[in-house]
Structure 1
């Protein structure tokens, strides 16, 4: 065995020692709100479940190991994780973000934290010149999604981190790694300071849990976040933590299959006469294909595309698929299809980040790729 276990091994074992009481292989679900103390302030590491829970501790240790982080914190949702991070900012601070982000993230930036005096601006983070031009004297964070949601732009994390460092070493680079997962890319290894996840998606992987996480190597940042995790209380329950731990164990094999299936589906769509454009980092036509090839293990399970017809035809297609279920979210074993403009990204309407009504987003699941292609073929009538 190597001195440092590989990610596939960490996913199964990190933070998950057999239960010392029973020898149970699976981490127990500690369904309790409080813990007996031997005396005032004398306990076995846990005193109240908002502050800590052994099942949650196992999940936090596992996710930290997967991202190569020293510290991990789990939250009740991806947005709860992002909201807790944003509480670290002060009025007058500036965040430079990608001009393509998840609609819920934009909503929190634009509708909530902007009114507290925090400034947000959006730039084409795939362009180094635009990154440099977007940084200000009071920039505190650069917020990256890569691949972005839903246009699947691929940001060169190392390049952006270096530009930010040269501008001001105090700037922190935050990467939402939900689409790629640590199996495909590890942002901290590329110069980022913080990684955030919606564990609802690929990490959980079965569309049966909602959760979030923040990972970092910064001890001071971790302490501030841990204080807020306890003080504000946006924590996941032990059953939620167990489900994410269960899902993470198969992350590597699932992401391999997601990537294989998505590449096949993207190639099919690219050759179809009714499709106007396909956005998938694994296609050589993707503008950042070279970056994706260098930065990612494979190209992931998300595809966006446009039909040659109008919005009415786009909406009609969404009703004709049989295996691709019309639903929000992504990253589960089942394939999903959605219209971001009217669903996940409705909050961007009227903003510079608005998603056009013709963009269709696919979350390609683990079904046989030939069946998925056949489903799209019959829907593209």
Structure 2
């Protein structure tokens, strides 16, 4: 039997819906008739001639040569991610922080100025507040819900604006289109961490953001079994970031890249269920007497709900809520959960919950936690794909047990 010839790259439609992109966005890169992409588990790749080796060794982002430079399975994942985010290309890295740190270090130099949000993922905050200043990069930390404050922080030497929306862990929002317009008018680059939303719910590049980063560990992998990061951007920026990536070496293993590819196939299905579960659970939590407050962009009670409706199609897995009774009651609540697993991370098939103040007490100062909006009785829950009534029953039992104690 003769193997089918893979379609030429220029025959791939560019107007597919996200559900189709997740399944077929890498079809043009297939090298054989296998329905499932192979794992290229090799650190190094041979060349057929000295001339071919020289070309491969001097290429930008080669598929072969050495896996730190590139790998065939990376290309397949990157093709899907770029198509989902609407960018020219994408890069894979070993973690979300690997993607963020590599991107920022590729774009800033001594003497530059950066504007960052007051509420970021903990390690992102440390990168901007503690690491960059050591190398002569000045950073202004700004309240991200106030676009005017971001505008006021911009300077002639501002090189970069770093955004994250919804923000970890309070789910406050940044007006992506407004900030992108401000920055573009001044020739300033913008980066948005889209991890909490995913491109199924929010597409920052369509709103004018230059570079979109992800912890691909979360929704993209979807099963809490890999650590990975992604950068979605133009070819021009990708070349700069790739060169820094080769130097820093935050390399994803081929096996994890393949698992990431497999996870992407079901991303739209999982996101549909996760969005529905989280919205229903957030509305239910607002009605529980043991809960002081619920933070979720999909609720009308969220102070930026109108913005959420403008820039998001769905509102994601993460709900933040406050338990009556303070730190001890919150610890008791999390410990009492049975179906919702007490573990970090988000965006997978299982529901996860953490007592945020307890989780970050050892790595953030009290001032940093206050600035990030982390209250002693804060719970961050990533809703999975379980049946919604089973989730309500588990959480309701834990709430009642906490009140009884």
SS at match of 1:271: coil
> Do the aligned residues in 2 keep the contact of 1:16 with 1:26 (CA within 8 Å)?
no
SS at match of 1:276: strand
Displacement of 1:19 after TM fit? 4.2
Of 369, 384, 394 in structure 2, the residue corresponding to residue 365 of structure 1 is 384
Displacement of 1:16 after TM fit? 3.6
Which residue does the alignment assign to 1:180? 197
Which residue does the alignment assign to 1:79? 97
Which residue does the alignment assign to 1:24? 34
Distance 2:380 2:51 in 1: 52
Displacement of 1:163 after TM fit? 2.0
Structure 1 unaligned blocks of 5 or more: none
Post-superposition Cα deviations, 1:82-129, rounded to whole Å, max 9, x if no partner, equal 111121211221221111110111122223222111122221222222
> In the alignment, does 2:21 pair up with 1:10?
yes
Which residue does the alignment assign to 2:110? 91
> In the alignment, does 2:205 pair up with 1:205?
no
> Do the aligned residues in 2 keep the contact of 1:164 with 1:171 (CA within 8 Å)?
yes
Q: CA 1:153/1:113 → structure 2, altered by over 3 Å: closer, same or farther? A: same
TM-score by length of 1: 0.95
Distance 2:51 2:345 in 1: 43
Q: Judge which range, 50-59 or 226-235, deviates more.
A: 226-235
> In the alignment, does 2:276 pair up with 1:266?
no
> In the alignment, does 2:67 pair up with 1:49?
yes
Which residue does the alignment assign to 2:45? 35
Distance 1:139 1:19 in 2: 42
Number of positions where the alignment pairs a residue of Structure 1 with one of Structure 2: 377
Distance 1:257 1:145 in 2: 23
Post-superposition Cα deviations, 1:273-305, rounded to whole Å, max 9, x if no partner, equal 111100001110101101111211111111000
> Do the aligned residues in 2 keep the contact of 1:330 with 1:336 (CA within 8 Å)?
yes
Distance 1:226 1:121 in 2: 26
Post-superposition Cα deviations, 1:226-272, rounded to whole Å, max 9, x if no partner, equal 11222222110111111111111111111111111011111111011
Q: Judge which range, 277-286 or 42-51, deviates more.
A: 42-51
Distance 2:345 2:160 in 1: 26
Of 291, 299, 312 in structure 1, the residue corresponding to residue 328 of structure 2 is 312
> Do the aligned residues in 2 keep the contact of 1:266 with 1:280 (CA within 8 Å)?
yes
SS at match of 1:42: helix
Of 29, 41, 63 in structure 1, the residue corresponding to residue 81 of structure 2 is 63
Displacement of 1:380 after TM fit? 0.4
TM-score by length of 2: 0.89
Distance 1:259 1:248 in 2: 16
Which residue does the alignment assign to 2:210? 193
